Structure 1
Amino acid sequence: WGCARGKRGSWSSPPSWATETGELLRRFPGEQRSSLRWSCSLRGFLTVCLIMSVKLNALHSDSYIEVSQYRDQHFKGNRYEQEKLLKQSNTLYVGNLSFYTTEEQVHELFAKCGDVKRIIIGLDKVKKTACGFCFVEYYTRGDAENAMRFVNGTRLDDRIIRTDWDAGFKEGRQYGRGKSGGQVRDEYRQDYDPARGGYGKLAQQQRSTEARNTF
């Protein structure tokens, strides 16, 4: 057994099956031992092949491009149709953007993964100003998959952005769905985020009410 050398010059122990095989071989005479040794060598070879196969399958598995559990509740169609479109789509939803991030900045980042067909910046439906999300459409599914692998979770404008598959942009989806016009998440957010308009809308209203009552 060709044992690998470990740390600090020590030699690692052979696997248990190799030790057991050696002990078994010593109990057999000449010709039988040779035949059995070949059989055991084959077993070792097949074991290594199995281990390598498992490792290669793990490397080939690409969880980054899998369709997430999120489903658009406003999708015009059933769940099966939405699932099918998500698995074929070239369009990505991009979230957690700064309100000040421009289309040019988005294009510069996502173009590193392939040819971008178009970018639709999400807008506050009342103010018609950017509200922190966008859609990025590629010409091919492969380029969109590269963006899912390499752009999701990276920084843009000093913010960690997230990407997800989108079933395909339809007119009207560029507008926020929150009661105040922006995204729903910014309605209920309690923290102060200067890149997304400060406090959440409800928190702003509450603070304004408290300020009026103080005076």
Structure 2
Amino acid sequence: MSLPMSILPRASQLGDANIVIADQAKPSDYVDRNFPGTTDEWYTALSRSSTVYVGNLSFHTTEEQIHELFSKCGQIKRIIMGLDKHRYTPCGFCFVEYYTHDSALDCLRYISNTKLDDRFVRVDLDPGFRDGRQFGRGRHGGQVRDEHRTDFDAGRGGWGPSVVEAPPARQEQSYAAQYQVTPGANKRRRDGAEEFADDRNAKLGRRF
């Protein structure tokens, strides 16, 4: 299908030449498998939506912090915090509803991949919040992406469930991967590489 005009690259006139400017407001290829409609209806909803999905948040980031950053792109109607479906505690994502579609697009352009609470947040256009989507879809209540984590992430609850519930031998392997011993040295170093795994997996049609 053809993409909506609002998410196509914009053309600008420079002298006698037409220059195509890559627009950072292009949403991802993710399609929610639980969306109550067709793929065409999903993209149609995106083309007029004023809602964005925000991923890779710290569990400790507050609604006030989110409002302070995201209000720079326009007036916010409401923020829906993502919650662990068992504990009803924040689990690392949210939805931000603006009053206009343009504000949502500006959010993709200027806020996605910027830092909030020392984490690179990822922003994607969303067709609109429906009740029930505020809860994590993972077996343990949080997001699916955290179900499979084998690293320690202090901002997302520490070790992932797959490590916590693993047999002792497997736990030791995961712990060892975080603390690498340098030959000839007595100290251990923590691998603090920033996580850039995409929250949205288009091929699997699911949100991590």
TM range (shorter): 0.7 to 0.9
**Secondary structure class of the residue paired with 1:176:** coil
Does the 8 Å CA contact 1:94/1:162 hold for their aligned counterparts?
Answer: yes
The answer to whether structure 1 residue 114 and structure 2 residue 74 are counterparts is yes
SS of corresponding position for 1:65 = coil
Match for residue 210 of structure 1? 168
* The one of 152, 161, 182 aligned to 1:192: 152
Cα RMSD over matched residues?
2.0
Asked if the contact 2:85–2:141 (Cα under 8 Å) also holds between the matched residues in 1, the reply is: yes
Matched, 1:105 2:71: no
Write out per-residue CA displacement over residues 14-68 of structure 1, whole angstroms, 9 at most, x where no aligned residue.
xxxxxxxxxxxxxxxxxxxxxxxxxxxxxxxxxxx998524xx223x41x11232
- What residue in structure 1 maps to residue 52 of structure 2? 92
Instruction: Name stretches of at least 5 consecutive residues in structure 2 with no aligned partner.
Output: 1-12, 173-208
Higher strand residue share? 2
Task: Tell me how far apart the structure 2 counterparts of residues 151 and 131 of structure 1 sit (CA, whole Å).
Answer: 20
Structure 1, residues 93-146: CA drift from partner, whole Å, max 9, x if none?
Answer: 000000000000000000011101100000000000000000000000111111
TM-aligned CA distance change 1:84 to 1:193, over 3 Å: same
Q: Distance in 1 between matches of 2:45 and 2:128?
A: 8
TM-score between the two structures when normalised by the length of structure 1: 0.70
User: Which of structures 1 and 2 has the bigger CA Rg?
Assistant: 1
Question: For residues 1-215 of structure 1, what are the structure 2 equivalents within 5 Å?
Answer: 53-54=17-18, 57-59=19-21, 61-62=22-23, 64-206=24-166, 209-210=167-168
Residues in 2 aligned to 1:150 and 1:160: alpha-carbon distance in whole angstroms: 13
Please state which structure has a larger fraction of its residues in helix: 1
Gaps of 5+ in 1: 1-48
Q: How many equivalent residue pairs?
A: 159
Provide TM-score, normalisation by structure 2: 0.72
Greater relative CO (CA pairs within 8 A, separation 6+): 2
Matched position secondary structure for 1:164: strand
Instruction: Measure the CA separation in 2 of the matches of 1:52 and 1:67.
Output: 31
**CA 53–188 in structure 1, closer or farther in 2 if over 3 Å, else same:** same
- What is the letter of the counterpart of residue 58 of structure 2? S
| Runs of 4+ more than 6 Å apart | none
Percent identity among equivalent residues? 52
CA contact (8 A) 1:67 1:87 kept: no
Distance 1:50 1:130, change over 3 A: closer
